[in-house]
Amino acid sequence: MSESIALGQPTVGEEELAAVAEVFASGWLAGAGPACRRFEERFAAATGTAHALATSNCGSALFLGLKALGVRPGDEVIVADYTFPATGHAVLQAGATPVFADVCADSFCADPAAIEAAITPRTVGVLVVDLAGQPGDFDAYRAIADRHGLWLFEDAACAAGATYRSEPAGSLADLAAFSFHGRKGITAGEGGALVSDRAELIERARKLHTYGVEPAYGRDGLPVFDELGYNFRLSEVQAAILGVQLDRLPDLLAARRSVAKRYSAAFADLAPAELPDREHPWQSYLLLLPPEIDRDRAMTELRTRGVQCTIGTYASHLQPVYGPQPPQPVSADLFRRHLAVPMHANLTDDQVGRVIDNVREVLEIA
């Protein structure tokens, strides 16, 4: 059998190693140091925002963002239903209640009508998700939030390099959270970031992410611990890697978009939509299988053939951790039928061809 084709794979090399060596030579390896500050400045610029905070992962960025927004027990936060459960988990961890909203069948992102219908007197904000990296309808999201006096939070975990009507992902809401997990567009294995134009939100999150005090780098005097905080700092080694990854981002996006173009030409009606007023970063490529196809059997067969694959993501309302929830039919349908095939910047022409041929055979596409 031919060598297995990875579902996701980082693009790293000598440049990242050299950046790590610089951190070793500096003597500052603890988190939230000078390499983190340099990365934060550059990432804020890349996302079209004024401020950024590097965090241990996207889950911690989501949690810190909710805390900075003042979320409290008794509050309700509307959450896009079709998402990895880290999104809903962050709301629970902050002490609030996630109220799930169904998604649109074309973008897989939160349906504005479902958001509007989910608002109650306890609603304080809306947490939407750039599914597979493509933003949803942010003009509609912002109009709803403003009309009801709610904040808007963008889970941009997969969206580095995406745009909505020429505006970069991350700049589309009051706050945005990013992931640098190994399958994301840029990666340090793990890591995250919180970005915003609102300085007070980022500074509040910065204090909370270092045990409730100002981080040691740049701090004057002995800190006083006047509230409970956490340890959600990014390491200097990861920040150095991410600085190089940010340099690579245009080339990484171009490679992913080239693969997506071939997939979309080959798979026709199964292909996801790239909406005309958006630039898709293709963190994942999700095929929507016909209802009569057993998606799980297809995954097993493709893996046997050396094509790694997985589900799209989760219909959150079906996960037991959230208790009984109202049905969200579009999200549930996507959860049952989506198939994620290999997508990363290292795929060769031969590998892309093998993916296409094997998927066609397994799904009996003529």
DSSP codes, 245-264: HHHHHHHHHHHHHHHHHHHH
Beta bridge partners of 195: 52, 176
pLDDT band (50, 70, 90) for residue 249: very high
Number of H helices and E strands in the chain, helices first, is 11, 12
pLDDT at 219: 85
Region 216-227: mean pLDDT is: 90
Please give the average per-residue pLDDT across 269-285, as a whole number. Answer: 95
pLDDT of 54? 98
Reported in sequence order, the residue ranges of the chain that DSSP labels E, i.e. its strands, are 51-55, 76-80, 97-101, 123-129, 151-155, 163-164, 167-168, 175-179, 192-196, 278-279, 285-288, 338-341
CA–CA gap between residue 10 and residue 17 (Å, rounded) = 14
Enumerate residues 6+ apart whose C-beta is below 8 A from 190: 56, 57, 180, 181, 182, 238
Q: What is the CATH number of domain 14-243?
A: 3.40.640.10
**Residues above pLDDT 70, as percent of the chain:** 99
Concatenated DSSP letters of 79-128: EESBS-THHHHHHHHTT-EEEEE-B-TTT-SBPHHHHHHH--TTEEEEEE
Q: What is the pLDDT of residues 149-176, one digit of tens each?
A: 999 999 999 999 999 999 999 999 999 9
Average pLDDT, the chain: 97
Nearest CA-CA partner of 32 in 246, 197, 239? 239
pLDDT at 5 over 60: yes
Confidence at 220, pLDDT banded by 50, 70, 90: confident
End-to-end Cα, the chain, rounded Å: 23
Length of the chain measured in residues: 366
- pLDDT tens-digit readout, 327-339: 999 999 999 999 9
Phi, psi torsion values for 311, nearest 5 degrees = -70, 175
**C-alpha distances in Å from residue 115, one per residue of 44, 101, 104:** 28, 6, 11
**For residue 217, what pLDDT is reported?**
87
- Helix, strand, or coil (residue 141): helix
**pLDDT for 32-67, tens place per residue?**
999 999 999 999 999 999 999 999 999 999 999 999
Residues 6 or more apart whose Cβ sits within 8 Å of residue 336? 295
What is the rounded average pLDDT of the residues 217-246? 95
Q: Are 279 and 132 in contact (CB under 8 A)?
A: no
pTM over the 0.95 mark: yes
Superfamily of domain 249-363 in CATH is Aspartate Aminotransferase, domain 1 (3.90.1150.10)
Q: Where in the chain is the domain with CATH 3.90.1150.10?
A: 249-363
What's residue 1's pLDDT? 54
Give residue 296's identity as a one-letter amino acid code: D
What is the predicted pLDDT for the residue at 366?
Answer: 44
Distances (CA, A) of 324 to 75, 103, 258, 327: 18, 19, 42, 9
- A 10 A CB-CB count for 148 gives 14
Q: Which segments of the chain belong to CATH 3.40.640.10? A: 14-243
What pLDDT, in 10s, does the model give residues 69-96? 999 999 999 999 999 999 999 999 999 9
Beta bridge partner(s), residue 55: 192, 233
Supply φ then ψ for residue 124, to 5 degrees.
-115, -20
Sequence-distant (6+) residues with CB within 8 A of 84 are 157, 313, 314
